[in-house]
Amino acid sequence: MFKIILISILSFSSINLYAKQLDININFESGFEFESQARLIKNLQKMQSVSDIEKLIKDQDWIQDFSIISKPFGNKIFINIKNKKPIFVLNNQFFYDENLNKFSFDMSKRDLIHVESSENNLQEILQIINLVSSRYATRKIVYSYAKGWEIFTDSTVIRFGKELSDTKIQNFIDTSNYLFENGKIPSIIDIRYKDGVALNYGTE
C-alpha cells in the first residue's frame, strides 16, 4: 500500500538527508537490514521533487509499502518505509518472504535459510520450512534428482526424498516428538523409506 499525504508526522526513527533543496527524513519501520537501503539513501540525495522520490521508491522490489508526507510549498519530506521480510534465499539470487514474494538478494542478510532448488518448488520449500524450522535450526535446503529433499540443520540432516507425502510428514513429526522426548540427537533422519524412518547417530 502506497500513500502520499500532505500533513506533518512524528517519526520514531529517521535518517535525515538534504537533497538539493529538499529536507528528507526517512524512517525504516523494519530496521536497517539491507545494502539496498543504503543505496536508496544515496539515490534519494539526487531527487528534486516528491514525484521523483515516489518513482524511485516504487522501483525498489524489497519495499512492502511506504508513505510520503510533505507540506505544501515546503521542503520537508517525511518517508516511512516498511521492508519485506525474507525468510529464505533461493540459489543466491532472490529473497522470498512468507507470502513467496520475490525480491533481489543483495548479499546483506546472512542469517537466512539458503535453498538450492528450482523456482518451481516454492510451495514445497515453504512447506518444509514451516514443518522443520519449528523443531530444528534450519540452515540449508537442497533438492537434487539423486536424493530429493535434504535439509541441513545445526545438528541433523533430514532426508525426505523426492516427494513430500502426508505419510512422510507424519513420520517426521512422530519421529521428532520421540527424539525430543528422549533427548536424542541423530546426525541423520532419513524418511525416504515406505516402512518407516532410519536414524543414524554417527557420520554419513
Q: How far apart are CA 53 and CA 76, in angstroms?
A: 13
Q: How many CA atoms lie within 13 A of 137 on its CB side?
A: 4
Average pLDDT, the chain: 84
Q: Write out pLDDT tens, residues 22-60.
A: 788 889 988 777 888 888 988 988 888 888 899 999 999
Beta partners for residue 83, in sequence order: 63
pLDDT digits 0-9 by tens, 69-82: 887 777 888 999 99
Looking at residue 7, what is its pLDDT? 31
Grouping H, G, I as helix, E, B as strand and the rest as coil, residue 32 is coil
Under CATH, domain 86-200 is a member of which superfamily? Cell division protein FtsQ/DivIB (3.40.50.11690)
Residue 117 sits at the vertex; the CA angle it makes with 116 and 123, to the nearest 5 degrees, is 120
Q: What's the confidence (pLDDT) of residue 203?
A: 61
Using N-to-C axis directions, what is the helix angle for 35-44 and 50-58, rounded to 10°? 160
Q: Can you give the residue ranges of every domain in the chain?
A: 2-83, 86-200
pLDDT band at 196 (very low <50, low <70, confident <90, very high): confident
pLDDT of residue 176: 92
Q: What tens digit of pLDDT does each residue of 113-131 get?
A: 999 999 999 999 999 999 9
Q: What is the pLDDT of residues 158-181, one digit of tens each?
A: 999 998 999 999 999 999 999 999
